[in-house]
Every structure is written in structure tokens, then in C-alpha cells.
Amino acid sequence: MNPNDVPKKLVDQATVGSNPALFMILFATGNENHGFAITPEGAKAFYENLGAHIKEYEATVRSIDTTGLAPQILSPIQKK
């Protein structure tokens, strides 16, 4: 799969919830929501991969400032 061939959407917000079997990730793009379920092992691999890319980005492009972001909004799954 070539990542350049995949349609892209800007994610406005991401919310994560979990249960003993799965992690659920909800991406909001404008008025659309896209939900995904991933195993704990897949979630950890994604987390580690994303972390490595963020470190590389900050080392080569710029530091990412997250101060002033709105507090995390809990999903209904997380409120249980």
C-alpha cells in the first residue's frame, strides 16, 4: 500500500476508550465521525510507532507545543 494513494482527512479531535478486549478510537473530521477498534497489542504498537515519529519530527522540524489545549473530553465508554 502506498500512503500517498490513501485519501486524507484532517482530524479535528480524537477520543480513545477501552475495555478488557479492545481499544476504541473515534476520530472526528468536521461533521463526520470514524470509529476504529484495535487490540491492546495493536494499540501499543501504534502508540510506539506514533511516538517514534513524533520524536523524529521534533528533532528535524520543530518542537510541538501542547500547552493551552482543551482538557480531554471523556467518551461515553470512558465515563463508565
| C-beta of residue 48 within 8 angstroms of C-beta of residue 56 | no
- Per-residue pLDDT band for 74 (boundaries 50, 70, 90) equals low
Q: Which of 65, 42, 64 is nearest to 54 (CA)?
A: 64
Higher pLDDT residue, 45 or 13?
A: 45
Mean pLDDT of 14-39: 92
pTM for the whole structure? 0.71
Say how far apart CA 36 and CA 23 lie, in whole Å. Answer: 8
Say how far apart CA 49 and CA 42 lie, in whole Å. Answer: 10
Q: Look at residue 31 and tell me whether its pLDDT is greater than 80.
A: yes
Residue 26's DSSP bridge partners are 15, 35
Q: Look at residue 78 and tell me whether its pLDDT is greater than 70.
A: no
